[in-house]
Chains A and B, each alone.
Chain A
Amino acid sequence: MRLTCPYCGPRDHQEFTYRGDASAVRPVLDNTSIDDHNAYIYDRTNPDGLHRELWNHTSGCRTHIIVERNTITHDVVSCEPVGPFAEQLK
């Protein structure tokens, strides 16, 4: 599988580290609900079809990207940068 890094171009997935489901959003800092945190850490939908994933180009420029990927066909639909510099990278 190859992912397209906004800095480096198409690169082998071995250069990246998978950081988990990108649709899981951490509760805000002052939210102290155990249930909400539990859901953030453990509840996953495991979809067949499109899945939003967070990847870090750890063996490259270390940019985080959100990859939309089809879990059935393994097609990569999109790779979008995230982070404080995401806008400049787009």
Chain B
Amino acid sequence: MSGFRLNLRDGVGANLSDNAISFSFDGKNYRGLEGDTLASALLANGVSIIARSFKYHRPRGVFTAGSEEPNALITLHSGGRTEPNIRATEVELYEGLVARSQNRWPSVNFDLMAVNQLAGKAFSAGFYYKTFMGPALQGHKATRFWWLCEQLIRRAAGLGRGTTIPDPDHYARMNAFCDVLVVGSGAAGLSAARRAAASGARIIVCEESARAGGALVSTPDFIDGEPARDWSADQISELSAMDNVCVLTRTTVQSYFDDNTFFAVERVTDHLSHKDKTSPRQRAWNIRARSAVIATGALERPMVFAGNDRPGIMLADSARRYAIEFGTAPGRAVAVFTNNDTGWLAARDMAKAGVIVTAIVDVRADIEPSIRSIGEECRATIHSGSAIKSVKGMRGVSGIVIANYNELTGELGDDSKSIACDCVAVSGGWSPAFHLTSQQGGKPTWDAELQAFLPGEPLQKWHGAGAMAGEFGLTRAFRSGEEAALKALADIGVTIPKQAAKAGSGPDIDGDEIDYAPAPVFEINSGGKSFVDLQHDVTAEDVRLAHREGFVSVEHLKRYTTLGMATDQGKTSNVTGLAIMAAASNKPIADTGTTRFRPPYTPVAMGAIAGEKYGHLAAERLTPMHDIHVDLGANMYANGPWMRPETYNLPGETVEQAYIRETRAVRAGAGLVDVSTLGKIDVQGPDAAEFLNRVYSNGFAKLPVGKARYGLMLREDGFLFDDGTTWRLDEHRYLMTTTTAGAGRVMEHLEYYRDFVWPDLKVALASVSDEWAGVAVAGPKSRDLLKACVKKCEVTDKGLPFMGIVDGVIGDIPVKIARLSFSGELAFEVYCGAHWGSALWHALMSAGEKFNVVPYGLEALSTLRIEKGHVAGPELNGRTTPHDLGLSGMVSSKKNFVGSVLLQRETFGKEDRLQLVAVKSLDGQRIRGGSHLVAGSKVQPGGSQGHTTSTCFSPELGSYISLALLEGGYKRHGEKLFATNPVRNAHVAVEVISHHMVDPEGGRMRG
């Protein structure tokens, strides 16, 4: 095939302007015109091989002119913007566009991986299942050999490659509401939108292409005396100017969900050479429509015949559109092969645009005289009752061989005739594009007259119009659009008087009236490779093989052959595949049924779905002291949504050096850490004590005012849920703290019991996490530090005993001080109103100067608590009980509480459960988090006996240590094991020790 640019004149090149545009494909520079797609520009430049196929690496060219394209997949851009598997037929050309072919080596024109074709028989349907799932030959070694083969084969088969570099573009999300959503802006969609908009209802019109109008853009028909494309352009600008109408072009409605919710993706800057950085690249729309008109048209389907995948073979209507819309001849000599009248119209329109149509081959013996005269009009030889037997040419089309065809028996005659051509325009009929309505559950029904599936009964508020609903041709499209609009208006309670409805009925159409029903011919079986699914390289023989092997349901057929499972989801192949399956099983197509379409309609960029949840627009939580940490040069670190200081590095210090220094400084003197991120819940009411007593495993009923208590919370199934301290501020008022990560779920947990389980308890809950800022002051000098700055209260051991709470003032700042210790040292938590947070930090820092106070980060915080043996998130992993973590003493036997009953389950008493211990590195090697504890060597480690949870270097022990969960761990102190981590190539000799590594008696924190 060698396409070329036609002389643009009236009606030819309707999409194009004169402005030349340069672009590159596979490193070669080309020129196109403004309005071109990448596909039309490549065709105009005579580029015919654009891609290599999925399995066999066969050369492939442009097959369609729209989003249904199975062949012409390319990779756009480079670096973080790399986007694979983009349909060249949808890419609008712009100055400087860079595209490359994919799945080929070394080049798309000369692809060595095409040797896969020689092994074609081996790669038939079910290849993976048959090859890799058999019994192993010699134990697991044979299986490993097959895995290796699989990796090689998978590398050779495939599509484009994505990138692991972050996407630098930004994306937006939009929530929209409307009365009527109109999907598609062709004849049916336009008439529906006009009718609905006139009522004043809020309308959104979504059009997938850059230009609204659908088929009106390329039809030679006249509407109200104007060329259809001009008429539709006028209509669109009128609609766009209305206040109650929003017209979105370049917007694909991808999904139809419950509650009449539609998901659409708008390509905002993809088509621009100079992208406005303030605009998102794409915008994802969530549209809630009270009712909808679905006018998504129909997709032409191909005929299946030997060699039907050669570059130069494309759908007839697409070939026609390239000629008329893009002024591009798809070839120098085009043969049309059809089973219906639309193929003839395509031939006529191409000929009118200046394309040479050499022959029209129609499987039907009887052709209406009016249609037959079209062939004469375009000076093509007419071969009715004939079909293509084979295609000549290897890397393109040099001709076709045709023979007599018997429509009833499906047999080809022995005669054969050669026709020279470099392009074959194929039409196998039209399949309504009811993907959206199928997604939401409407079961399609087979229409034997139209030889097509039609959308089934609506389960939600939508109405089909135009070709999508089987209403082919402009007249019926306009009429059905009007009707659908009236039904949609009725859904929202707007009724139009019958006469008014009539008065506004459709425009005056001057055009073709033809029969759209094709002959029931889907495949010409002449031997040779005939492709059904071009993108996944599924042949007609694969479908029959699947049937012979017993895969009779369409769902099985699809999964076994992978027909319709590629990025195009079988838009051009599903119906043909079903028809071949039906023929093989001697069943009518209606009984074979069809698979349900799944969202999205076309592939969607992950960025569009993620929207502003990631990247620079993502929400971050900052503590009131955030700026101070940044000024101090802290390594800020994302801990869930929170940004927290990891370490405060001195110049030249590594993270490890920094946290070791900070840990030592705390144990020797004093340190400050920002604990504002802890969850805080205000619990009030006359029944607050009773409520807490029921949700904590330890007793809370007798906690005196002015005291805090560490509490454990369990789930109903007996596993640990969260921990924290709760302070009794007043007779009926408590301040509960939770872990940082658990703040949200603890609140939900408490609300569940308050609202649903014990609504009779008089208790109120409020999240006050953001209202309080907190600083923990830890270390033997912490009391001296507080004494130096706290006024209006005592912080002596007597005035503020362990677990005591006092109210005081630091500078002008009212504070609450509780004597709590996470580090095992003498320590206090100082809380103040969030707006005082940075003032509090500064006050404590300056009071601490003479005690050499240091700020410490999460790493040191963690190291201090690991050394002390305090548990945190990695140990509270949802699979541990209080007993597993050495916290049996925290479980009251005198009351019933959440989790108390199922905690008694037999399994929780087993001695070999994973129990909390610590391990200490014996050989100076670092212990990796998530290492398994094993008894054996690196090569033969033996089974896992447990795993490490929280690891660090302990300055106190002078060694790498880790908390660990070990089978029957409590009785195994002193044992020698290995902490193995094959992923990080680590195998460290360790000794099992008690998790109470620092000050087990607690003298320091109580001192």
Contacts and interface: CB of A to CB of B under 8 A. Distances in A.
B153 to A, nearest CB: 41
A83 B716 contact: no
Interface in B270-321: 288
B759 A83 contact: yes
B748 interface: yes
Contacts, number: 64
Contact of B748 (A17, A27, A83): A17
Interface stretch (B65-73, B556-564, B749-757): B749-757
A89 to B, nearest CB: 11
Main SS class of interface, A: loop
A67 interface: no
Interface string A1-44: 11000000000000001010010001101111110111011000
Interface in B751-778: 751-752, 754-757, 759-760, 762
B679 to A, nearest CB: 14
B901 A82 contact: no
Contact of B716 (A17, A22, A41, A63): A41
Nearest to A40: B716
Contacts of B904: 32, 34
B694 A29 contact: yes
B902 interface: yes
Contacts of A63: 755
Given A19-B748, A40-B716, A84 B759 contact: yes
A56 B752 contact: yes
Nearest to A14: B286
Contacts of A32: 896, 900-901, 904
Interface string B874-913: 0000000000000000000000100011101100000000
Contacts of B751: 56, 62, 64
A58 B902 contact: no
Given A17-B748, A29-B694, A56-B751, A64 B902 contact: no
B620 interface: no
Given A1-B259, A40-B716, A84 B754 contact: yes
A30 B896 contact: yes
Nearest to A74: B258
Interface in B647-696: 694
Contacts of B902: 34, 37-38, 41
Nearest to B899: A37
B112 interface: no
A63 to B, nearest CB: 8
**Residue among A31, A37, A64 with max Cβ neighbours from chain B (10 Å):** A37
A88 interface: no
Interface residues of B, number: 25
A15 to B, nearest CB: 12
A30 B896 CA distance: 7
A64 B896 contact: no
B459 interface: yes
A79 interface: no
B717 interface: yes
Nearest to A17: B748
A73 interface: yes
A54 B694 CA distance: 21
A37 B902 CA distance: 7
Contacts of B459: 73
A26 to B, nearest CB: 5
Contacts of A26: 716, 757
Which 9 A/B pairs are nearest by Cβ-Cβ distance?
A: A83-B755, A64-B755, A37-B901, A74-B258, A84-B759, A26-B757, A1-B258, A29-B896, A2-B259
25 contacts: A1-B257, A1-B259, A2-B259, A19-B756, A22-B756, A26-B716, A32-B896, A32-B904, A33-B901, A34-B904, A34-B905, A36-B901, A37-B901, A40-B716, A54-B756, A58-B744, A63-B755, A64-B751, A74-B258, A74-B259, A83-B754, A83-B755, A84-B755, A84-B759, A86-B759
